[in-house]
Structure 1
Amino acid sequence: MAGEMSMIGSVILALFLAGYLGQQYLPPPKPKVIGLDLGTTFCSVGVFHPGSGEVEVIADEEGRKSIPSAVSFTTTAVLAGHDAVDLADSNPQNTIYDAKRFIGKIFEPEVLEQESVRYPFKVLNNNGSAEFVISTNHTFTVSPEFIGSRLLLRMRKMAEGQLGVPIQKAVISVPAEFDERQRNYTVRAAQLAGLEVLRVINEPTAAAMAYGLHKVDVFNVLVVDLGGGTLDVSLLNKQGGMFLTRAMAGNNKLGGQDFSQRLLQFTAEQVRQQFGVAPTVKEDIHRLRLAVEAAKLNLTLHPSATIRVPLHLHAAGDGAEPPAASPVLFQATVTRQLFEELNEDLFQKILVPVKTVLAEGHLEKEEVDEIVLVGGSTRIPRIRRLISEFFGKEPNTSVDPDLAVVTGVAIQAGIMGGSWPLQVSAIEIPNRHLRKTNFS
């Protein structure tokens, strides 16, 4: 018996030694499972590298780690991401964005009509489901899941180009409030992109994993997810490696686009005061919008930013093509203080769902162990200050908020792919009775 135990021990030791030597001297296997964050405004793809245990968020050819969640149809092509956004102003009726708001949802006719008014493209009601009307060399309709599939296919190709291996499996994230139908339609979008979905994970849980909270002793985690178009606040309760979503609230009409719009309106008025006419030409508005967005991003790091844009101004407000005359140069400096004043009422709205989830989760704000920030808009200094003042402590900012969800999904993809070193998996406890409270 002693001899047998000694032999077993030797075999185990040899296996561990072989694994260690293999890890040290052999090239690690390529990841075979990708993690996908299909966001309302932007989406990203990441992988967990075996051996090193590091997450890589895969960039496109220009080095950008997120692509806009937009798809544009022309007479010759279907473009996704940045290429689609470039056509948004010249081809607005055939450039679809915000498709995630519609995927898998059943709408009352009047509700869908109210939603569709916000967009330049046409939305049809097909027995309660939304479809988008496309008119190129002929007219046809596409579903929200088809739009999602083109974005997922673009990210799959990005991953295959970076890794040099074909990718057929994925883990994908969804909002915590997505019901079974919305989750199934998201999976269908992935299938249309040629992907097998191994697991669907809630976005707040993915964010918590990105911050490493699945491996430490915390109990109450508040996730504030403020992206380009929506605000989602989730209260997670963690016991061991299990996450339970206790409460959710949000505002599906509040995000970075709204903050940019306030600055755009202010800037357009400055143009009118300086030149006697407001910008009406599509090219002018497009350039001004891009400059304002760049200024907003600069103001997260600097106390002021300069907006400098050539404009083809003219008195006709018909949106005609710009005249051949040389453009005028509009130039203005905006400060962080001005930006905060323009948006203060919108910033205050962030606290409304925060207070709601605490009340519905029967929790005092002092009992929150970690505050996790997700989404690029949480970079805005005033928003971080607002949250820290409310809770009396600083939120966790150790992870890039733009990439928190995709990082967590990539970790889960590594777990599903059996990657070494082994990670603690996050198990979500489904809360069938949970409903999201929405404010607008």
Structure 2
Amino acid sequence: MAGEMSAIGSVILALFLAGYLGQQYLPPPKPRVIGLDLGTTFCSVGAFQPGTGEVEVIADDRGRKSIPSVVSFNGTGIYAGHEGQELSDINPQNTIYDAKRFIGKTFDQETLDKESARYPFKVMLNNGTAEFFVSTNGTFTASPEFIGSRLLLKLKKMAEQHLGVPIEKAVISVPAEFDEMQRNYTIRAANLAGLDILRVINEPTAAAMAYGLHKVDVFNVLVVDLGGGTLDVSLLNKQGGMFLTRAMAGNNKLGGQDFSQRLFQYTSERVLQQYGVAPTLKEDVHRLRQAVEAAKLRLTVEPHVTLKVPLHLQITGAEGPQEKHVVFEEEMTRELFEDLNADLFQKILAPIETVLVEGRLDKDEIDEIVLVGGSTRIPRIRQIISQYFGKEPNTSVDPDLAVVTGVALQAGIMGGAWPLQVSAIEIPNRDLRKTNFS
């Protein structure tokens, strides 16, 4: 009997030793489950690396860790992400963006007309659902989930190229207010891209996980998600390792695009004042928009920037219309940017106040304020939030990548990756409704 016990002990010791040596000297296993953030204006993909215990947000071949949620159709093919965005100004009728606003929703004609009026592409009604009209080599319609599938396929290929293995499984995030139909259509988009979705996780919960809040002793978490096109505020209550969404509010027509548009309008007026004509050529408008977007990003870290844009203005003279080549140059300051958007920045507080009222909490009962979305980098926005609560928000995670980081953590858990041991569980709250401001 003693000999048998000794043999069993030797086997166990050998297994432990083999496991230790394997961890030390063998290459770590490749991630097989990816995390996907299919955002309204940008989307990203990440993977949990078992060897390092870290999340890696996967970049494209030019080092960009997110791609625009844009798909453009022309006579030569379908272009997603940055390639699609580059065609947006010269092919606006066939370049689709903001498709996430339409996915899994039912519309009547009046509501759809109102929702689609601000887009250069045509949105049609088909048995209560929205479809995008495309005219290239012939005409056809594309569903919102098809647009989403092209973006997810792009992310899938980025992950496969980087990781060197085929990817078939994923975890994907959705807004907390998405109903069952919207979630199912998001899953359908992933299926069209050749992906099996193991779990759908709410974006605020994913962000909280990225900040590590599933592992620390906090109870009330406020997530402010301000991206390119929408503002979402969620109040989470954590009990142990479980998150309950207590209240949601937001503004689906407020985001970084609106702040950029204010700056674009200002620069267009300055061109008109200097040269007597505003930019009208598609190429000029495209260049000016790109320059304004770059200036907005730089103003989050610098007090002033210089805008310098070559333009081909159409000037009508004594001899008729003529093209004049100019270089528009303008000094932009952070103070100017804040003044142009002062009223929009203040709108951020309305949904924050609403979730506190609906969650029956005072602002001093919030343990953590989590910032998500690139627009929360704007110093004035952070200042408004910190002044309201009397304390600084948590900025330890890149706000652009918070959701995809959390989703990738969940993907690691679903894939059984060591050493992840702590998971966040969402408590479904089917009766919850989002308060929307406009």
Q: TM-score, normalised by structure 1?
A: 0.96
Alignment of 1:378-417 (within 5 A): 378-417=376-415
CA distance in 1, matches of 2:7, 2:247: 54
Per the TM alignment, residue 277 of structure 1 is displaced from its structure 2 partner at its CA by: 1.4
Indicate the residue corresponding to 2:99 in structure 1.
99
Indicate the residue corresponding to 1:154 in structure 2.
154
The percent identity for this pair of structures is: 79
- Describe the SS at the equivalent of 1:301: coil
Question: Which whole-Å deviations, capped at 9, do the CAs of 1:136-157 have from their partners, x for residues lacking one?
Answer: 1100001000000000000000
Answer yes or no: is the 8 Å Cα contact 1:43–1:69 preserved in 2: yes
Per the TM alignment, residue 107 of structure 1 is displaced from its structure 2 partner at its CA by: 1.2
Per the TM alignment, residue 273 of structure 1 is displaced from its structure 2 partner at its CA by: 1.1
Indicate the residue corresponding to 1:200 in structure 2.
200
Question: Which whole-Å deviations, capped at 9, do the CAs of 1:60-94 have from their partners, x for residues lacking one?
Answer: 11110000000011112011000001100111111
Indicate the residue corresponding to 1:431 in structure 2.
429
| Partner amino acid, structure 1, of 2:199 | R
Per the TM alignment, residue 18 of structure 1 is displaced from its structure 2 partner at its CA by: 2.7
Per the TM alignment, residue 419 of structure 1 is displaced from its structure 2 partner at its CA by: 0.4
Give 1:346's match in structure 2, choosing from 344, 347, 354. Answer: 344
CA distance in 2, matches of 1:378, 1:5: 61
- Describe the SS at the equivalent of 1:297: helix
Note the aligned Cα RMSD (angstroms): 1.5
| Partner amino acid, structure 2, of 1:369 | D
- Describe the SS at the equivalent of 1:283: helix
CA distance in 2, matches of 1:335, 1:12: 67
Alignment of 1:22-171 (within 5 A): 22-171=22-171
Aligned residues: 434
Question: Which whole-Å deviations, capped at 9, do the CAs of 1:44-70 have from their partners, x for residues lacking one?
Answer: 000000121111111111110000000
Which sections of structure 2, spanning at least 5 residues, go unmatched?
A: none
Per the TM alignment, residue 282 of structure 1 is displaced from its structure 2 partner at its CA by: 1.5
Answer yes or no: is the 8 Å Cα contact 2:314–2:324 preserved in 1: no
Question: 1:5–1:239: structure 2 CA closer, same or farther, 3 Å change rule?
Answer: farther
Per the TM alignment, residue 286 of structure 1 is displaced from its structure 2 partner at its CA by: 1.1
CA distance in 1, matches of 2:172, 2:216: 24
Which sections of structure 1, spanning at least 5 residues, go unmatched?
A: 317-321
Indicate the residue corresponding to 2:371 in structure 1.
373
Question: Which whole-Å deviations, capped at 9, do the CAs of 1:153-205 have from their partners, x for residues lacking one?
Answer: 00000000001110000000000000000000000000000000000000000
- Describe the SS at the equivalent of 1:21: helix
Per the TM alignment, residue 10 of structure 1 is displaced from its structure 2 partner at its CA by: 5.8
Which of the two has greater strand per residue?
Answer: 2
Larger deviation, residues 262-271 vs 149-158: 262-271
- Describe the SS at the equivalent of 2:341: helix
Question: 1:11–1:345: structure 2 CA closer, same or farther, 3 Å change rule?
Answer: farther
Indicate the residue corresponding to 2:297 in structure 1.
297
Answer yes or no: is the 8 Å Cα contact 1:171–1:197 preserved in 2: yes
- Describe the SS at the equivalent of 1:88: coil
Indicate the residue corresponding to 1:319 in structure 2.
none
Question: 1:315–1:428: structure 2 CA closer, same or farther, 3 Å change rule?
Answer: same
Per the TM alignment, residue 209 of structure 1 is displaced from its structure 2 partner at its CA by: 0.5
Deviating 4+ runs (over 3 angstroms): 1-17
- Describe the SS at the equivalent of 1:314: strand
CA distance in 2, matches of 1:409, 1:264: 34
Per the TM alignment, residue 315 of structure 1 is displaced from its structure 2 partner at its CA by: 3.6
Indicate the residue corresponding to 1:357 in structure 2.
355
Question: 1:77–1:11: structure 2 CA closer, same or farther, 3 Å change rule?
Answer: same
Larger deviation, residues 171-180 vs 269-278: 269-278
Larger deviation, residues 346-355 vs 18-27: 18-27
